[in-house]
Amino acid sequence: MTREDLIHEIKKKGSFLCVGLDSDLRKIPEHLKSESNPILAFNKAIIDATKDYAVAYKPNLAFYEAMGEKGWEILRETLDYIPKECFTIADAKRGDIGNTARMYAETFFLQYDFDSVTIAPYMGKDSVQPFLEYPGKWGIILGLTSNQGAFDFQFLDLKSEGKKLYQKVLETSSSWGDESNTMFVIGATKADMLKDIRQIIPNHFLLVPGVGAQGGSLQEVANNGMNQDCGLLVNMSRGIIYVDDSENFQEKVKAKAEQVQKEMQALLKGFDLI
C-alpha cells in the first residue's frame, strides 16, 4: 500500500487505529474454544467488529509461530480475511545479514502478502535495506520501544554526537530509505519524547504501540507526534481484542474500537486534517 493510499484511508475513516492481533488461545472467549479453528474464528470476529474503525491490522508473529505450522496457516487465512483497503503489518521484528534479510523480505512480501514488517536495527543497513526494495511495501524499524527494557540500551548517551542511541538509530536509518517505504516504532509510553523525535523524522509515519494496556495516552501521542499527513498509526492490542470475554464480546470490542475511532476523529479534526 502506498503512502498516499494510507493517508486516504486515514482521512476516509477518521481513524489512525491499528488493531494488534496478539491472539492467544488462553485468552479468547471460552465459547470459541469449541470451534474447529478457535483462533481463526476469534480473528474473524475481531476483524468484523473493528473493520469500520481501524485502518491497519498487526498480527504479532510470536502468537502464530507458537502454534507451529498450523499457526502460519491461521496467519495466512487471517490475512486473507482483512479487508484489502486496510494496511497490514507483520510484527515480526526480524533483522539479519543481507542475504538472510532478503529471505525474510520474501517471506512477508511474497510468500505472505503483508504491506509491512517490523525490523530490529542492531545489525545495521544491510539488515534493513532488502525490506525497502519492494514498491508499496514498508520496513518499520524499531526506534524507541514501549517496554521497560528500552532503558537498557536505547537511551545510552553517545560520546561525540550529543545524542542518545535511539536518536542516532532514527537519524541514520531514516537515510536508508524514505517516507514512502520506512516507518518507525515509537512507544506511546515515551510520548513526551515525540516532539524531539519529530525534529529528526518530521515526515515519517510512526507505528505507536503502548496506548491502553501499557499506559500510553492517545491525546499526548497526537499532540506531540501528529504531522501534516497524520503520520501516526496507533496500535492497540490487548486493550481492544480482550476487552471482554463473554459470548457478547464482539459488541464490546466494536464499542471499544468505535470509542477509540471517535477520539481519533476528534484529534484529526483538531489538527485540520479532516
Q: Which three cell numbers stand for residue 26?
A: 488462553
The label of the residue with cell 542518545 reads 164
> Per CB under 8 A, which region of 34-42, 147-155, 239-247, 251-259 contacts a copy of itself?
147-155
Whole-angstrom distance, CA of residue 257 vs CA of residue 31? 22
Which residue of 103, 195, 228, 259 would you call a contact of a copy of itself, by CB under 8 A?
A: 103
* Type of residue found at 7: I
**Residues 4-43 interacting with a copy of itself (rule: CB under 8 A):** 22, 24
Q: Which of 93, 163, 168, 252 is catalytic?
A: 93
The answer to whether the beta carbons of residues 164 and 156 sit under 8 Å apart is yes
Question: Dihedral of CA 257/20/272/190: which sign?
Answer: positive
Q: Is residue 27 flagged as an active site residue? A: no
Decide if residue 199 touches a copy of itself (CB under 8 A): no
Q: Which one of 4, 113, 153, 269 is in contact with a copy of itself (CB under 8 A)?
A: 153
Q: How far is the CB of 123 from a copy of itself (least distance, A)?
A: 5
Sign of the Cα torsion 106, 110, 112, 117 reads positive
93 contacts a copy of itself (rule: CB under 8 A): yes
Q: Does 60 bind a copy of itself (CB under 8 A)?
A: yes
Count of other CB atoms within 10 angstroms of residue 16: 33
Q: CB within 8 A of 106, min separation 6: which ones?
A: none
Catalytic positions, written as ranges:
93
Interface residues with a copy of itself (CB under 8 A) are: 22, 24, 60, 62-63, 65-69, 72-73, 76, 91, 93-101, 103-104, 106-107, 110-112, 120-128, 142, 145-154, 156-160, 165, 168-169, 172-173
